[in-house]
Amino acid sequence: MNVLAGFAEQHDIAYPLLSDEGSVVIGRIGMLNDRVFEQHAAYGVAPREQHMGTPYPGVLLLDEQGVVIGRRFQQSYRERETAAGLLEQGFGGHASTHGIEDRAGSAGVSVRAALDSETFRFFQRLWLTVELTVDPGLHIYGRPIPDGYVPLSVEVAPAENMVVGEPVWPETRPFRVEGLDEQFQVYEGTVALALPVTFTARGMSDQTVRVTVRYQACSAADCLMPAALSLELPVRTADLVS
């Protein structure tokens, strides 16, 4: 109990931290991680007895009646999401605070990139959100796309010990230009997509996530020049809990 009290005080935690001595409840409700040594082996960690009895680091959302209405697990037991990431990517909610953002734009389109935390920790999963707002009457292209057109793309500059996952793409809308045979998939209005970003080494220095967003905005009549915008999101390293 001293451990939990100290942890709560150190991190200013007001919600209940429950202690499951002997992992009795963890076992009873089927959360026991019985593959921890296999997972350790994948990271080159030697097995230790204290690792027995740990739960899978899952998160369950209960409704007002106590019924499980959301479950969030990661294959890597190391990977944890930010609170904002859990809420938005895991359970479809909306977080009231976000980390850092940068903005850019071109004629008819504004772009905002944001990370859901100002800091990162070892194996914490941050979400990079890229949001484009396209003026009425314009659209940008998604995929699939005929040759010669520029689809919306988001590229994160590679950095050592930074892993960027596949983006979660929003739905496109089919679009046809009169007089052309080609069928297009387009985005209009506000388009938001999210990519997971994880830093996988201990003791990393502060980082800058560099994002390039490419697209071409068109109306039903004609197209603007293709755009390639650079956005930068500095993120500070946070010490691990010792």
Partner 1 sequence: MTTELPPLPVVDFSRIGPALGSRFPDIALPDQNGRTVELHTARAGRRALVVFHRSAAW
**Could you say whether residue 46 binds partner 1 (CB under 8 A)?**
no
DSSP annotation string for 178-226? TT---EEEEE-SEEEEEEEEEE-STT---EEEEEEEEE-EE-SS-BPPP
Applying CB under 8 A, among 27, 57, 165, 167 the residue interacting with partner 1 is 57
Q: Which residues of 86-97 are buried (b: 16+ CB within 10 A; e: fewer)?
A: bbbbeeeeeeee
Q: Tell me which stretch binds partner 1 (CB under 8 A): 50-58, 127-135, 153-161, 195-203.
A: 50-58
Applying CB under 8 A, among 12, 18, 158, 174 the residue interacting with partner 1 is 18
Applying CB under 8 A, among 27, 55, 165, 167 the residue interacting with partner 1 is 55
**Could you say whether residue 28 binds partner 1 (CB under 8 A)?**
yes
Applying CB under 8 A, among 12, 27, 49, 73 the residue interacting with partner 1 is 73
Distance CA 36, CA 46 (A): 11
**Could you say whether residue 202 binds partner 1 (CB under 8 A)?**
no
Query: Is-cis flag, bond preceding 144, omega within 30?
Result: yes
The tokens 């209009």 sit on which residue? 188
**Could you say whether residue 161 binds partner 1 (CB under 8 A)?**
no
Distance CA 125, CA 73 (A): 12
CB of 65 to partner 1, least distance (A): 7
**Could you say whether residue 61 binds partner 1 (CB under 8 A)?**
yes
